[in-house]
């Protein structure tokens, strides 16, 4: 485009996530059912099809509880696979705040629409993270063994958190020694995540 005299700006390169009207209506009904309002909740998608990319369930629960104590509503989503639903169940067992668990209940278009209605998104290196970036929803992404240079979304409103003490990153393995457990993700604390989310939260 530049070669033929058409200037290209970073905004021209931004991804978008269009939502059809039927999907928008379904998501609006789900929000109303749970007493949620657009732009007034945090969407947490804690899982990936590769669980070695996921943070510890108990720390997700700590973040949900801390947000709830601050008066913020959290919506939890996940794919309908047995592994992801079991992972979310571990989280929810430790949650005392009034979080809304929609894990396995949304289609992919509905998930995109729900992400677009959230005040901010918290998740890991997975498709929903990129959906949030495309929807323009401010996001915090937790990265473990994957390459941020290749897979992290770019642009305004994107915060990537990863271990700062591991010289082995990115190892590109399925957890440490392909064990399925990523110690680099365990380096991240509740405080790291809450600090990153704080400037993205809606004004109460």
* pLDDT tens-digit map of 110-146: 999 999 999 999 999 999 999 999 999 999 999 999 9
Give residue 95's domain range: 36-200
Average pLDDT on 37-47 reads: 97
pLDDT at 108 over 80: yes
| In-domain check, residue 75 | yes
Higher pLDDT, 9 or 84: 84
* pLDDT interval class at 204 (50, 70, 90): low
Q: pLDDT band at residue 104, thresholds of 50, 70 and 90? A: very high
pLDDT attached to residue 155: 77
Average pLDDT, the chain: 94
- Number of domains present in the structure of the chain: 1
Residue 95 lies in a domain: yes
Minimum mean pLDDT among 13-17, 58-62, 177-181: which range?
A: 13-17
CATH number at residue 131: 3.40.50.2000
Is 93 within the bounds of a domain?
yes
Average pLDDT over residues 32-52: 96
**Does residue 30 lie in a domain region?**
no
* pLDDT surpasses 70 at 31: yes
Residue 173 lies in a domain: yes
SS in 3 state form for the chain?
CHHHCCCCCHHHHCCCCCCCHHHHHHHHHHHHHCCCCCCCEEEEECCCCCHHHCCCHHHHHHHHHHHHHCCCEEEECCCCCHHHHHHHHHHHHCCCCCCEECCCCCCHHHHHHHHHHCCEEEEECCHHHHHHHHHCCCEEEECCCCCHHHHCCCCCCEEEECCCCCCCCCCCCCCHHHCCCCHHHHCCCHHHHHHHHHHHCCCC
| 62-82 per-position pLDDT tens digit | 999 999 999 999 999 999 999
Quick check: is 116 in a domain?
A: yes
pLDDT band at 202 (very low <50, low <70, confident <90, very high): confident
Q: Given this model, what pLDDT does residue 36 score? A: 96
């Amino acid at each position: 485009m530049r070669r033929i005299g058409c200037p290209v700006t970073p905004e021209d390169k931004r991804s978008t996530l269009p939502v059809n009207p039927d999907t928008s209506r379904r998501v609006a009904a789900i929000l109303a059912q749970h007493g949620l309002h657009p732009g007034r909740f945090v969407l947490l998608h804690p899982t990936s099809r590769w669980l070695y990319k996921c943070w510890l369930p108990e720390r997700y629960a700590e973040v949900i509880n801390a947000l709830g104590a601050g008066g913020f509503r959290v919506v939890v989503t996940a794919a309908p696979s047995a592994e992801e639903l079991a992972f979310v169940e571990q989280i929810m067992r430790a949650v005392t705040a009034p979080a809304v668990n929609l894990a396995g209940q949304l289609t992919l278009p509905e998930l995109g629409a729900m992400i677009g209605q959230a005040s901010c998104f918290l998740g890991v290196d997975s498709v929903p993270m990129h959906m949030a970036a495309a929807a323009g929803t401010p996001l915090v992404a937790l990265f473990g063994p994957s390459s941020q240079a290749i897979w992290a979304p770019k642009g305004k409103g994107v915060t990537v958190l990863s271990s700062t003490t591991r010289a082995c990153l990115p190892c590109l393995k399925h957890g440490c020694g392909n064990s399925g457990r990523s110690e680099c993700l365990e380096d991240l604390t509740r405080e790291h995540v809450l600090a990153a989310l704080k400037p993205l939260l809606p004004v109460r």
